[in-house]
Amino acid sequence: MPEHKPDTQYVRVDDGRQIAYCEYGDPQGKPVFYFHGTPGSRYEPSFGDRAGKEYGYRIIALDRPGMGRSDYVKNRRLLDWSQDVKEVAKQLGVRRFGVIGASGGGAYTLACSYAIPELLEFSVVMGSWGPVATEPKLWEEMAPLDRFFAKLSKSAPWIFYVPFSFIGYAAKRMSPQGFMKSLESSMSVADKLLAADEELAQFYADDIAEGFRQGVRGPADDAIILYGEWGFRVEEIKIEVHLFHGEEDRFAPYSYAAYFDEKIPQTKLNRYPKEGHLFIVQLFDDVFKQISLRSQTEG
């Protein structure tokens, strides 16, 4: 388990906004930007710190607008994130880099894979959300809680913030175990077993509470973006995408990974038959091992 939270740092982009980030792994290693779940924060890849050091990767974890300590942006779109990442990389002196996204962050990884492929060394999505607005079969397979939120975001987005804010309230005010229990309708048996671990429950409660640090606007907007049209088709992605997904996942059903594997021209699918969704924060060893072997083969 991660033992501490690293210092928060900031980059100021051209429009004056601040984007917050934390770093993990090897400070001199190959740079990789990490995109947290929805909701989530820059604390999420703390589980990857050891693996980053072992395999030689510098993990730069960004808070998306309105979450954690990054400034809020009104009316943003999914593809806007690729330009933020491009500018942060420039400010940090990073010319080429990898991208890793977990859960809702997977969509942002795919957006970067589509929009800025010339800057990317590799692309990884773990338990990624799918384009439910344009694929009816994926919409039908959403968990009950997500289906409720997705329908509300379409029919009454002005009141969507109210029920969605309960997630942040629960993370901040309930016990970690009570918070995890509030999400059980979206959990597989595998996830329920992991959620019973007190340290893991505390980690998720802290991560999501930090995501709601500024209130509900940022996290809610992030969810609405994912429930809506993405602005590109995954078939148009020109680089290889590495997919890691538990077959028992109910937060982001395994059918989403199967869809990406079918539609994206170049993929490498890693299936985990007995795993759900929560285990994805423990995947960094598998991810960095695969990416490192790929680099050695190409080299």
∠ Cα 14 31 83 (to 5°):
30
User: What pLDDT is recorded for position 1?
Assistant: 52
- Residue 269 has a pLDDT of 98
Count Cα atoms within 13 angstroms, Cβ side, for 134: 14
Q: Which residues pair with 35 in a beta bridge?
A: 62, 101
Give yes or no for a contact between 54 and 292, defined as CB atoms under 8 angstroms apart: no
Instruction: Please write the tens of the pLDDT for every residue from 173-210.
Output: 999 999 999 999 889 999 999 999 999 999 999 999 99
Over residues 39-66, mean pLDDT: 97
- The first and second tokens of residue 159, run together, are 């009141």
Which tokens in the block code for residue 131? 């384009």
> How would you write 123-182 as a 3-class SS string?
EEEECCCCCCCCCHHHHHCCCHHHHHHHHHHHHCHHHHHHHHHHHHHHHHHCCHHHHHHH
Q: What's the pLDDT at 159?
A: 80
How far CA 69 is from CA of 17, 18, 166, 202, 211, in Å, comes to 11, 8, 20, 20, 8
Residue 5, pLDDT above cutoff 80: no
- CA proximity to 215, closest of 261, 176, 178, 167: 167
Does 299 or 13 have the greater pLDDT score?
13
- For residue 151, what pLDDT is reported? 86
Give the residue from 4, 47, 9, 3 showing the smallest Cα distance to 25: 47
Angstrom distances, CA of residue 220 to CA of 19, 58, 123, 161? 18, 29, 26, 6
Count of CB atoms within 10 A of residue 216's CB?
20
Task: Please compute, for residue 111, the number of CA atoms within 13 A of its CA located in the half-sphere on the CB side.
Answer: 25
Instruction: Name the residue among 63, 219, 227, 41 with its Cα closest to residue 129.
Output: 227
DSSP 79: T
- The C-alpha atoms of residue 42 and residue 23 are separated, in whole angstroms, by 9
Q: What is the pTM of this model?
A: 0.95
Section 21-36 average pLDDT: 98
For residue 229, what pLDDT is reported? Answer: 95
pLDDT in tens, 150-178: 888 887 777 888 888 999 999 999 999 99
Instruction: Pick left, alpha or beta for residue 180 (phi over 0 → left; psi -120 to 50 → alpha; otherwise beta).
Output: alpha
